[in-house]
Amino acid sequence: MHPGLGFETEYKCKLYPQCGKWPGKKWLLWFKKKGLDYLKKDYQKWLKSRLTDYNKLMKKTLLQHNTKYQEEWCTLPGKAEVADYWNKWYMWGLQSDVNYPLISRKYCLWLGRTTGEKNEWTKFIQGSGKTYMGEKCPSLQDFLSEKNDFFRHWLVDFFKKWVECRQ
């Protein structure tokens, strides 16, 4: 972490003109008070962008899976024809028909089955979204704990090297 040209704009800190005149203890004090905070902010910004990217990827995957389901399952041969038949029957079904109660029962069974399929799929997609997206996702929790542990160890090592090299 050397104060370079981008340092002042990124951290809103005018350190570069002053720091060349500082003795070693002042550098160490600055690094303990401010430098570590800047590193933590960088890490949090990086981690937040990774979480956003992960959630976007999972949402895209779920949408692709949903589209694939609709293309494959909902357009099975015969499924569209049956849906057309029952929708037309519902619109134009004659109540004066002798077989109306029987056909009406079949229509209700078909409607219940298709509505149940749709509701089941919707619950599955929503459940998958809750399971694989957000901060409660088990694999994401593992990723976060792994990265946080790594960052803590790296920060300690970086601080030791900073003190030893007197950067």
In terms of domains, do 165 and 84 share one?
A: no
Whether residue 30 contacts residue 36, with contact meaning beta carbons closer than 8 Å, is answered with: no
Is 139 within a domain? yes
In terms of domains, do 125 and 49 share one?
A: yes
Q: Give the model's pLDDT for residue 3.
A: 47
Radius of gyration in angstroms for the set of CA atoms belonging to the chain, rounded to a whole number: 31
In terms of domains, do 85 and 163 share one?
A: no
In terms of domains, do 93 and 147 share one?
A: no
In terms of domains, do 98 and 167 share one?
A: no
In terms of domains, do 121 and 70 share one?
A: yes
pLDDT band at 1 (very low <50, low <70, confident <90, very high): very low
In terms of domains, do 64 and 141 share one?
A: no
**Res 146 pLDDT > 90:** no
Q: Give the model's pLDDT for residue 12.
A: 63
In terms of domains, do 110 and 77 share one?
A: yes
Is 108 within a domain? yes
pLDDT in tens, 55-89: 888 888 888 888 888 888 777 888 888 888 888 88
How many structural domains is the chain composed of?
2
In terms of domains, do 162 and 89 share one?
A: no
The alpha carbon of residue 164 and the mean position of all alpha carbons in its chain are separated, in whole angstroms, by: 41
Whether residue 18 contacts residue 3, with contact meaning beta carbons closer than 8 Å, is answered with: no
Encode 65-89: b = buried (16+ Cβ within 10 Å), e = exposed.
Answer: eeeeeeeeeeeeeeeeeeeeebeee
Whether residue 66 contacts residue 125, with contact meaning beta carbons closer than 8 Å, is answered with: yes
Contacts of 13 (CB under 8 A, 6+ apart): 7, 34, 38
In terms of domains, do 52 and 129 share one?
A: yes
In terms of domains, do 92 and 154 share one?
A: no
pLDDT band at 91 (very low <50, low <70, confident <90, very high): confident
d(CA 8, CA 107): 71
Q: Give the model's pLDDT for residue 40.
A: 85
Q: What is the pTM of this model?
A: 0.58
**Res 17 pLDDT > 70:** no
Quote the domain boundaries for residue 117: 45-134
Is 73 within a domain? yes
Is 16 within a domain? no
In terms of domains, do 54 and 64 share one?
A: yes
Helix-helix angle 138-165:36-72, to 10 degrees: 160
